[in-house]
Amino acid sequence: MAKTGYFVVIGCGRLGSRVAGYLSEQGHSVVVIDAREERFERLPAEFTGFTIHGDASEIETLKQAKMERADVVMALTSDDNTNFMLAQIARKMFGVTRVISYVHNPENMELFKDFSIEAFCPVLLAFETLKGLLEEMKS
Amino acid sequence: MAKTGYFVVIGCGRLGSRVAGYLSEQGHSVVVIDAREERFERLPAEFTGFTIHGDASEIETLKQAKMERADVVMALTSDDNTNFMLAQIARKMFGVTRVISYVHNPENMELFKDFSIEAFCPVLLAFETLKGLLEEMKS
């Protein structure tokens, strides 16, 4: 990847908007997709990227986002199945080398791993954090 | 806190059920509260704690959970306002020394901190994780 990259962020929720804002701040090119236009209001005022109001499960929307040029695609919708499908489409149809997916249900992590999809699960991150807080307590 | 403690976990969602199962496995006494009974099905089969099917925003439910005896209360409902209120009630009315709250909206973290409520926000944990993943990429 060049010093700055081209990022497609799918899902402009609490995490997606924050990540998109951060990437834009870091000087990257960013396109954010969301089916609910009002969610773009979450983006910081300084956001210099593009927004696409559309359904990311339609190929047309992904083409519009020039997904084939993306260095990284982040599948951050609120639905694990959608994120799984987006990761597969990004890689197989658009040849994107790096896709990172949000996994809501910890039980789905295995499926994503089986398909070698880079994934993170905030529930598991929170669980580890809580375990850490309780460990501290013992000492 | 003694070697084993008494934990009240409010909210048996993906995180609550996992944390409750873990605490029970560690030999702690655990009570889990949820207003939706079917959510207790998420608890592992080996769970040895108690479940209370009830509304945690009603004091009666908290009394039933013997909250005044809790070493730790975890407010893990899906609503930040409820978690905030529960933390305040646990401390002020039941004298619980340690309350840990789930914060969904990162923008609420400041409020919780202003009230010295120990809080964690999975969105922020995920954001840090993503930043870490992208840092790795540069090298």
In contact, B100 and A132? CB cutoff 8 Å: no
In a domain? residue B68 = yes
In a domain? residue A107 = yes
Chain A residues near residue B129 by CB distance under 8 angstroms: 120, 125
Cβ atoms within 10 Å of B7's Cβ, excluding its own: 23
**Is residue B4 over pLDDT 90?**
no
The predicted pLDDT at position A58 comes to 95
The predicted pLDDT at position B106 comes to 96
In contact, A14 and B106? CB cutoff 8 Å: yes
The predicted pLDDT at position B138 comes to 66
Domain that holds residue A73: 6-138
Chain B residue at shortest CA distance from A103: B126
**Is residue A78 over pLDDT 60?**
yes
CA dihedral A93, A94, A97, A100 (to 10 degrees): -80
Cβ <8 Å between A130 and B72: no
Residue of B15, B131, B137 lying closest to A127 (CB–CB): B15
How many domains would you assign to chain B? 1
Chain A residue at shortest CA distance from B19: A127
In a domain? residue B1 = no
The predicted pLDDT at position A47 comes to 97
**Is residue A29 over pLDDT 60?**
yes
Chain A residues near residue B130 by CB distance under 8 angstroms: 15, 19, 74, 100, 120
In a domain? residue A1 = no
Split at pLDDT 50, 70, 90, the class of A84 is very high
3-state per-residue secondary structure call for chain A = CCCCCEEEEECCCHHHHHHHHHHHHCCCEEEEEECCHHHHHHCCCCCCCEEEECCCCCHHHHHHCCHHHCCEEEECCCCHHHHHHHHHHHHHCCCCCEEEEECCCHHHHHHHHHCCCEEECHHHHHHHHHHHHHHHHHC
Residue of B74, B118, B127 lying closest to A18 (CB–CB): B127
Q: pTM higher than 0.90 for the full model?
A: yes
% of chain A at pLDDT higher than 90: 93
Q: Mention every residue, 6+ apart, whose C-beta is less than 8 A from residue B135.
A: none
Chain B residue at shortest CA distance from A133: B100
Cβ <8 Å between B125 and A130: no
Chain A residues near residue B106 by CB distance under 8 angstroms: 14, 18
* DSSP states of B115-126: TT-EEE-HHHHH
In a domain? residue B85 = yes
CATH code assigned at B107: 3.40.50.720
Residue of B106, B125, B131 lying closest to A126 (CB–CB): B125
The predicted-structure confidence for B58-96, as pLDDT tens digits, reads as follows 999 999 999 999 999 999 999 999 999 999 999 999 999
Partners of B98 in beta bridges? B72
Residue of A125, A131, A134 lying closest to B129 (CB–CB): A125
Per-residue CA distances from A125 to A35, A99, B18, B70 (Å)? 27, 19, 12, 25
Split at pLDDT 50, 70, 90, the class of B135 is confident
The predicted pLDDT at position A3 comes to 72
* CA distance, residue A108 to nearest chain B CA (Å): 12
The predicted pLDDT at position A81 comes to 97
**Is residue A2 over pLDDT 90?**
no
% of chain A at pLDDT higher than 70: 97
The predicted-structure confidence for A90-133, as pLDDT tens digits, reads as follows 999 999 999 999 999 999 999 999 999 999 999 999 999 999 99
In a domain? residue B123 = yes
In a domain? residue A55 = yes
The predicted-structure confidence for B36-61, as pLDDT tens digits, reads as follows 999 999 999 999 999 999 999 999 99
What would the mean pLDDT of B8-36 be, rounded to a whole number? 97
Q: Mean of the per-residue pLDDT values for chain B? A: 95
Backbone angles phi, psi at A81, to 5 degrees: -60, -45
In contact, B128 and A125? CB cutoff 8 Å: no
In contact, B50 and B70? CB cutoff 8 Å: no
Cβ <8 Å between A130 and B105: no
Alpha-carbon radius of gyration of chain B: 16
Split at pLDDT 50, 70, 90, the class of A135 is confident
In a domain? residue B65 = yes
